Structure formats: C-alpha cells, structure tokens
Amino acid sequence: MGTVNVPEDAYYGAQTKRAVDNFPISGLCFPLSFIKAIALIKKYAAQVNRDLGLLSPELAPAVMQAAQEVIDGTFDEQFVVDVFQTGSGTSTNMNVNEVIAGRANEIITGSIGGKSPVHPNDHVNLGQSSNDVIPSAIHITALFSLYNNLLPALKELHKGLQHKANEFAGIAKIGRTHLQDAVPITLGQEFSGYARQIELGIERLRSIEPRLAELALGGTAVGTGMNTHAEFAHRVIALIAQETACPFVEAKNHFAAQAAQDAAVEASGVLKTVAVSLMKIANDLRWLSSGPRCGIGEIILPDLQPGSSIMPGKVNPVIPEVMLQVAAQVIGNDAAITIGGQGGNFELNTMLPLIAYNLLQSITILAAAVTLFAKKCIDGITANKERCASTVDTTIALVTPLVPVIGYDTAAAIAKEARETGKTVRDIIRAKKIIPEDELNRLLPDGSGK
C-alpha cells in the first residue's frame, strides 16, 4: 500500500488523494496519451454544455482552457493514480476532473484547487460518467495511435520489404521446408512473402476502424443517458472527430458500448496477428543471417553494435531480437485483454484500466519497434550472393525439377547417390548423360537466378 503527500501546488483534490492512498501502487500509470484523450472529452464537453445552456459562460472558458493545458502536457505530473484501481477507471476520471477544476479555479480566482466556483463533478464531469468516459477514451487513444503511429510505421516497413523483394529478384537460393532443403526460389520471392504479410496486417488494422470509431459517450452510468442532454454526445463527438481527424461517431447501442469491450478485444487480436507476422519475419532474418561462416549466411544484417562482452568480433541480430521481444509482449498483452473483455458483467465492464493499459501499450511498442525494424534493419540488409549461389548448386533438392522429365524413382536414385558421394545433382546428371546439357541448364537454376 502507499500514500501520497499532496503538495501545496497540487491541482488534484481529495478524491484523487484517497485513490492513491488506498490502492496498491504497482508503479504503472496510464500513458499520457490516454489522459489527454480524457481531457479532450472534458474540453468539448464544457463547450457543448455551454452551448446547450447547461454550463455558465463564466465557467466554461476556464474549464476549456484548463483541459487544453492538460492536453498540452502542462500538468503531466499531476496524474498519479495507479493503473490497478477501480474497474471502471473512476479514479483516473476523477483525477482528470480534479486537475481541470483546480486549474480552472486558479484561472478564475487565483487560488489553486478546490471545488468552487468550478466543481469537478458538477461542472467538469457534467453530462458524463466514468462508465462512458473511460471506454470512449480507450477508443479515442487507440484509433488515434493507430492512425498516427502504427499504420504509418507498418507502411514504411512494407515499403522497405517490397524494395528488398525487387532488389533481390534475380538472386536464386534454396527454399526450405521443415528446416530442410526444398526447391530453389529467389531471395526476392522470399522477401515478397514478408511484404505481403505486412500488407495484410495493414488491411486487418484498417478493418477494425469502424468499431473503434464508435464512442460510448452519452450513455452515462448504465447506457440510458441519464443526466445528460440528448444532443450532448453527438455534438461532443463531432468536435473530437474534427480535432483528431478520426471518424468518431456515437455508439449505435450504448448498452453494448459500456457493458462490453468487444472492439478493444478485436483490436488486440489484430495486433496479436500483426505481432505473429513480425515474429516470423524477424526469426527468418536471424536464421538467414546466421553465421557468418558457420550458419546459413544468405543475407547480411547491418552491424549495429558489438555482440558479445567476451567474444571479439561477434555481431548479433539485435534489431530482429528487439522485434521478437516486443511481439511476445503484444501476444501476452492480448491474453490479458481477452480476460479483461470477459469482465463485462451486466451493464459495465469492470476491467477497463487493464484493457486500456495493455491495448495502448501494444500499439505504442509495436509502432516503435516496427519503425526501428524498418530503418535499422530492413533498409540495410544486403544479399550474400555467393552463399545463395552455393546453396542452389549443392543442394540435393535440386533433383526435384527433374521429376517430370526423368521420373520420381530415377530422381530419387540420383538424390541418394548425391547424398552418399557428396557430388552435386548437376554433376551426376552430366556424368550419366541422363539429360542433354541444354535441357539440364533449362531445368536447373544456377546461383545467378537464371
């Protein structure tokens, strides 16, 4: 358990202090982007309530200014409530209400804090409930972060992978299945598969936008809209959509929007899928660059830092390993969010803070890692053409393209002889004169990609 000493210049009040004093302190706090989304709601709530004649024109400007200052980051240190709190997120909602009220009172009277003339509940929280504000803030922050961080990062990664697919189009190498030699492909074809995975990930993220765009605001306590004006929600949401350039709309059904968090669960599932794609790509790059002399060594990754404190000259695949760890974290977050989604009992989900923290963390760390992956790894990859050529020339799997011409059994016998003698498939075919030279050259690719 922990306590907090309220400094003389604290803008938050007694309810926030009680929350901090009585909740376990994990050291985890919401990202400031989430706090700013709540403040964005408060800013436009004050404007709309003023326009509707519900908030006096003397108080509304101060509330709006204070909320904007929160959005600008002026009071970042004032948001002190732990992530693990009441399941509705009421403590964080009140933390924001109290900071805005405390600052608004300072603007009007010159004295920090307090409940007069601006009251945190009666004025800042007017027409709202934690039960519709917190789910709305989750959707606002998640969709805004997707638009402005993760999707742009994935587009750059896709661009980089597609560029490598084109650059490596003429480099033949051996394909692998079950970690064993398969049939020849080009390095470009291999990278084209990675590019398509990312392209599909972008499409999947785009597909969830309509559900994340629905905001619970206007439902207040249980979805009925008690104590709020009929025009309040859609007016506030329209202003939020205009400022964020995101297509936010009022939820079609407020009971679903507050009782469940299905859109957040869906979004997390898509993020997990993207993470699994990135994990596959990062793992392949580690394998393909392994060595440099005693591994596969078909590609060369950028050299970023010494790889060992004891082995001089060792270079490790640092960035792919960063990507793998981030992907693992996102997959773990999805498990927590899935459990959190099951916390929708009757008219309210009571695991909102857990869902918010993990969903926003997944988006944030994926965006950062993908940006790093594209710039510090993919863009600098080069092909080891000699190594790629040698794998094509020496693999026993090179016999496979000959099957339609010489038959499976003959091809199998050649493969067996190559395995036992160490000779190449090409050399055995030539020695036995099974296929004319020109036909052999047509059927079997060489390291130049011909």
- The residues assigned a catalytic role are 178, 308
DSSP β-ladder status, 172-177 and 249-250: unpaired
C-alpha gyration radius of the chain: 30
DSSP category for residue 226: T
- Tell me how far apart the alpha carbons of residues 206 and 152 are, in angstroms, rounded to a whole number: 12
How many residues are given for the chain? 450
How far is C-alpha 264 from the geometric centre of its chain's CA atoms? 13
Closest CA to 187 of 397, 399, 387: 387
Nearest to 236 by CA among 369, 39, 95: 39
Q: Computed from CA positions of residues 289, 293, 295, 297, in that sequence, does the dihedral angle turn out positive or negative?
A: positive
Q: Residues 6 or more apart from 39 whose CB is under 8 A from it?
A: 67, 68, 70, 71, 96, 100
CA distances from 8 to 5, 11, 12, 102, 112 (A): 9, 9, 11, 12, 9
Could you tell me which residues are beta bridge partners of residue 172?
A: 186
**Cβ-based neighbour number of residue 136 at 10 Å:** 30
Q: Are 70 and 81 in contact (CB under 8 A)?
A: no
Q: Kind and range of the H or E element at 214?
A: strand 214-215
d(C-alpha 224, C-alpha 222), whole Å: 6
How many Å apart are CA 112 and CA 394, to the nearest integer? 78
> How far are the Cα atoms of 114, 230, 239 from residue 287, in angstroms, in the given order?
61, 59, 50
Residue identified by tokens 């927590």 is 336
